[in-house]
Structure 1
Amino acid sequence: MAERDHIVIAGGGRVGRRVAEDFVNRGTDVTIVERDASRIDAADADDRVTYLEGDATRPSMLKRAITDETDVVGALTGDQSTNLAVCMAAKQLFPDLETVARIQVEDGDEYTEFVDRVYFPERASIKAAVNALAGSDIRTLEGVTGDLELFDVRVGYDAPAAGEVVADALPEGSLVISQASGDVAVQHSTTLVAGRRYIVAADHEVVDEVLTQLRGATDD
């Protein structure tokens, strides 16, 4: 069972395509809105991803891309102003959607009034995005080999990790960064609360174990 049913990504560059790939690998439907047709063609579009050519800052395009199943809009273009405009327009049209904006400056807290979460993928990599989201607490993961997965997961009520502290609940190579709302950091001594969503980073080799600990048995 996917944690997200459908996400919309504004920006079909390297960051947008990488994030889309991570989500479709977990069974989430993804739509990418990209204004540059040549970029879509050059991407050798994954047929698991829906590509729409157009300007995601336009309400008409957002209405076309966003469905009843959409959980979150991620504005991941290389232009900060565009990303903020996309998120603000999406929130105006669909107030219940979560919005995530790629921001170029590290002092991004001032933008949380307008978007639900911000991140700063300076090197357009998942690892850089994780470090930017977590601040100094995540730097110890720089030495982990292989790609890191970054995901939003709700702790199941019957999950092994429910009621346990982070340090005891999860394997080496993983880290709970924050509550999914982005406003509460998580420490090693934090107790994981059933029903609450968290942002989690994990080396790809332990992702299955992490999800089993956090979600428990599923009906996949």
Structure 2
Amino acid sequence: MTESGHIVIAGSGRVGHRVAQHFADRGRDVTVIDPEPDEAVEGDDIEVLEGDATKPSVLEAAITDHTDVVGALTDKEDTNLVVCMAAKRHDADIRTVARIEDRAGDEYEAYVDQVYFPERASVRAGVNALAGSDVRTIEEVTGELEVLDVRVDYGAPAAGEVVADALPEGTVVIAESGGHVAVQHSTRLIEGRRYLVAADRDVVGEVLEQFRGEGDG
């Protein structure tokens, strides 16, 4: 999934609402579908479509040429699976994420690209599921600081650059992800490698732009 594509979320409950707001705060185009949308979701930064996302006509009205992921985040497993299957029928290239009740997620591999379970249905879990593998929010600290697990895409502005020069103020590269290798200000960021990055919330978008490849926009 690119870091600029449109996101469709079915369900405006606690999880759906906060996941939608997370992406909208970072400049992503987000559409939320719900038969009875939470008033708190409605705003200039999130498009709200009132309707049943299991109906193809409603789902297709929400999906655009730039949609690359559909997240079915309602509290009803059957609804989520139907939404994901309908999205795939509409466009096989769209990535689908379903919130499910059963730990046996392997049973759904033929129908959805990724599942997650209620005990992990936090905002962070929903964000990471929709964001895919290239960027993961590890932790939100006091609401002002986020720790990200992010990969340097090939052709990204930060690739080959020294940490001190590549990233905005308010950012600290902690270590290489998985390798537990400490990163210094003079360390060069290597294409294809993952890093743990702590960043102020107001610069997270700029940080992700630096790690994003030229073809991802």
TM-score (norm 1): 0.66
Contact 1:80-1:103 at 8 Å conserved across structures: yes
- RMSD across aligned positions (CA): 4.1
The amino acid across from 1:58 in the alignment is K
1:63 paired residue among 60, 72, 92: 60
Inter-partner Cα distance in structure 1 for 2:43 and 2:196: 24
> How many equivalent pairs are there?
188
Contact 2:20-2:30 at 8 Å conserved across structures: yes
2:83 paired residue among 86, 90, 100: 86
Inter-partner Cα distance in structure 2 for 1:72 and 1:114: 14
Inter-partner Cα distance in structure 1 for 2:199 and 2:103: 26
The amino acid across from 1:145 in the alignment is V
TM-score (norm 2): 0.67
The amino acid across from 2:142 in the alignment is G
Contact 2:152-2:159 at 8 Å conserved across structures: no
Secondary structure of 2:104's partner? coil
Contact 2:6-2:67 at 8 Å conserved across structures: yes
The amino acid across from 2:87 in the alignment is A
The percentage of aligned residue pairs carrying the same residue is 48
1:138-177 superposed matches below 5 A: 145-147=141-143, 148=146, 155-161=153-159, 171-172=173-174
State the shift of 1:110 in Å: 2.5
Distance 1:6 1:150, change over 3 A: farther
Secondary structure of 1:46's partner? coil
Residue 24 (structure 2) aligns with: 24
The amino acid across from 2:107 in the alignment is E
Larger Rg: 2
Contact 1:155-1:192 at 8 Å conserved across structures: no
Distance 1:35 1:211, change over 3 A: same
Secondary structure of 2:200's partner? helix
Consecutive unaligned residues of structure 1, counting only runs of 5 or more, are 134-140, 163-169, 177-186
Inter-partner Cα distance in structure 2 for 1:192 and 1:128: 27
Question: What is the CA deviation profile of residues 36-92 of structure 1, one whole-angstrom value per residue up to 9, with x for unaligned ones?
Answer: 2xx43x325122111111110111111111111111111010111111110011101
Residue 4 (structure 1) aligns with: 4
- Is 1:205 the counterpart of 2:196? The answer is no
Secondary structure of 1:96's partner? coil
Inter-partner Cα distance in structure 2 for 1:125 and 1:93: 28
Name which of structure 1's ranges 42-51 and 122-131 shifts more when overlaid on structure 2. Answer: 122-131
Residue 122 (structure 1) aligns with: 119
Inter-partner Cα distance in structure 2 for 1:132 and 1:74: 8
- List, as ranges, runs of 4+ consecutive aligned residues in structure 1 with deviation greater than 6 Å: 130-133, 149-154
Inter-partner Cα distance in structure 2 for 1:121 and 1:161: 37
Inter-partner Cα distance in structure 1 for 2:52 and 2:196: 31
State the shift of 1:201 in Å: 8.1
